[in-house]
């Protein structure tokens, strides 16, 4: 290769490497701050997807000079009302005054308070929190940023990195084990259309039972194929069901019926969609439950009707079998499988206390009080959201069971948790 040609290619290679590094930085940023974003959403209503997207953009995924020297994740300037610490940074003008924080959590909280407490942004809180496009355009309209492309940058980050799932998690509309791991977006790359023939890959999901384990990555054939002698396709998150129905000449009502879907216009996560009614009998004799797998996931993976799986295994539709249990797919099981809730309670009782837990509350955090309920003692830094996620329940359930009107908790407070 000639020196001249090499010099031409060198900037292109550098750009490709920089792009890959940026994607890794974004994934790292999301995994580090997603819990903080969801907690702030529960507290103030600012969508977690928007907060994460703004944080990624404003801090260059945690690498900007401003965030490194001030923990300022959202580019908020001092303004006249600010009495806290300050740093000076070149932005629209040289040496502008920016707010400085002792930690990232303070920046996340101040960003929420800044939006919630300003009349300029009040209209945003009337929007559906899952309407990330409305929020993105609304922030630009209200004057949050001067960049004319700001709204489109925020929307692209939300869509490329599945950020709306964290809004859904905070709302309790998606179970914690259904979270798509950051850094494995199922949204097809630009120019790739899975329905038109591109490869489809399921991203692994977080497991509630085993934090370090996840479902294996599975690659499905492009377009239409067969599971248990039934026609099926794999479609990515964000796909409109109506588009799938039109492409494969199936009525929308039938498509939803075949796949046990209700009132769902756009898929929250990538999944298999059957184009025919699933079978009453599985192709295999048994299915071993994987960490993070729901009964619905198993039915889709095996091409088996939901009611058949329940009947064969003596299960209720809201019961979750524990990972490692064998579910029968062709005939009735001799007995009911162990449930995840039973295994979780036993495991939590056996867990040793961490030094932080021991210092905060010497008493054990979880105490069995009956077959259907147990108590949880609130520890340092715990929130309603983190406790709900720990036990695979919703924030609203936790509030209802304990007759809570707000989101504030006290260290040592006991909460009742009900499980099947």
pTM above 0.85, yes or no: no
Supply the pLDDT for residue 165. 87
Specify the residue for token string 């248990």: 228
- Identify whether the C-beta of residue 214 lies closer than 8 Å to the C-beta of residue 205: yes
* Predicted pLDDT of residue 343: 57
- pLDDT of the residue at 417: 86
* Contact between 232 and 275 (Cβ < 8 Å): yes
Written as tens digits, the pLDDT of the chain (420 aa) is 444 444 444 444 444 443 434 677 888 898 889 989 998 998 899 999 999 999 999 999 999 999 999 999 998 988 777 888 999 887 767 878 999 999 999 999 999 999 998 899 999 998 888 999 999 999 999 999 888 899 999 999 998 888 988 888 888 776 554 455 444 433 333 333 333 333 222 233 332 233 323 444 566 787 888 899 999 999 887 778 888 888 899 998 899 999 988 765 677 778 899 999 999 999 889 998 888 788 988 999 999 999 999 999 999 877 888 888 899 999 999 999 988 766 544 444 444 444 444 444 444 444 434 446 788 888 766 777 778 777 878 777 888 888 887 667 787 788 888 865
Task: Give the C-alpha distances (Å, rounded to integers) separating 368 from 91, 219, 251, 348, 377.
Answer: 56, 42, 49, 10, 12
Tell me the C-alpha distance between 159 and 173, whole Å.
18
Give Cα 338 to chain centroid, integer Å: 27
- Distant-in-sequence, close-in-space partners of 406: CB < 8 Å, separation ≥ 6: none
User: What pLDDT does 308 receive?
Assistant: 94
Q: Provide CATH code, domain 21-171.
A: 1.10.530.10
Domain residue spans in the chain?
21-171, 194-328, 341-418
Task: Map residue 218 onto helix, strand or coil.
Answer: strand
Burial class (CB in 10 A: 0-12, 13-18, 19+), 160: middle
CA gyration radius for the chain?
Answer: 24
Closest by CA position to 292, among listed 174, 207, 209: 207
Give CATH for domain 341-418.
3.10.350.10
Q: Which helix (H) or strand (E) holds 151?
A: helix 150-160
Burial 1-24 (b: 16+ CB within 10 A, else e): eeeeeeeeeeeeeeeeeeeeeeee
- Confidence (pLDDT) at 419: 67
């Amino acid at each position: 290769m000639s020196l001249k040609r090499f010099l031409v290619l060198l900037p292109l290679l550098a750009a490709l490497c920089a792009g890959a590094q940026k994607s890794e930085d974004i994934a790292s940023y999301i995994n580090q701050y997603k819990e903080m974003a969801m907690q702030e959403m529960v507290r103030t209503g600012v969508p977690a997807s928007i907060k994460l997207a703004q944080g990624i953009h404003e801090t260059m995924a945690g690498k900007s000079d401003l965030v490194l020297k001030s923990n300022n994740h959202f580019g908020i300037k001092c303004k006249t009302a600010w009495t806290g610490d300050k740093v000076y940074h070149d932005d629209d003008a040289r040496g502008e005054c920016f707010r400085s924080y002792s930690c990232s959590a303070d920046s996340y909280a101040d960003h929420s308070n800044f939006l919630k407490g300003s009349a300029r942004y009040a209209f945003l809180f009337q929007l559906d929190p899952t309407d990330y496009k409305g929020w993105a355009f609304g922030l630009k309209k209200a004057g949050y940023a001067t960049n004319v492309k700001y709204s489109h940058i925020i929307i692209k980050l939300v869509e490329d990195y599945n950020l709306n799932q964290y809004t859904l998690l905070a709302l309790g509309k998606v179970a914690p084990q259904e979270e798509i791991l950051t850094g494995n977006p199922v949204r097809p790359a630009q120019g790739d259309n899975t329905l038109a023939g591109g490869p489809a890959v399921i991203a692994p999901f977080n497991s509630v039972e085993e934090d370090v384990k996840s479902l294996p990555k599975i690659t499905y054939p492009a377009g239409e194929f067969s599971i248990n002698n039934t026609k099926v396709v794999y479609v990515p998150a964000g796909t409109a069901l109506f588009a799938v129905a039109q492409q494969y000449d199936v009525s929308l009502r039938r498509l939803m019926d075949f796949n046990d879907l209700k009132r769902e216009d756009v898929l929250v996560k990538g999944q298999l969609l059957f184009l025919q009614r699933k079978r009453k009998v599985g192709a295999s004799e048994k299915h071993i439950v994987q960490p993070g797998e729901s009964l619905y996931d198993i039915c889709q993976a095996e091409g088996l009707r939901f009611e058949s799986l329940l009947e064969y295994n003596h299960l209720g539709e809201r019961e979750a079998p524990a990972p490692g249990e064998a579910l029968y797919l062709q005939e009735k099981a001799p007995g009911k499988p162990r449930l995840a809730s039973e295994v979780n309670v036993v495991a939590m009782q056996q867990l040793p206390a961490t030094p932080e837990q021991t210092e905060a509350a010497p008493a054990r955090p979880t105490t069995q009080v009956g077959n259907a309920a147990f108590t949880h003692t609130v520890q340092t830094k715990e929130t309603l959201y983190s406790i709900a996620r720990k036990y695979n329940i919703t924030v609203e359930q936790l509030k209802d069971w304990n007759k809570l009107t707000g989101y504030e908790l006290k260290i040592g407070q006991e909460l009742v948790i009900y499980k099947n």
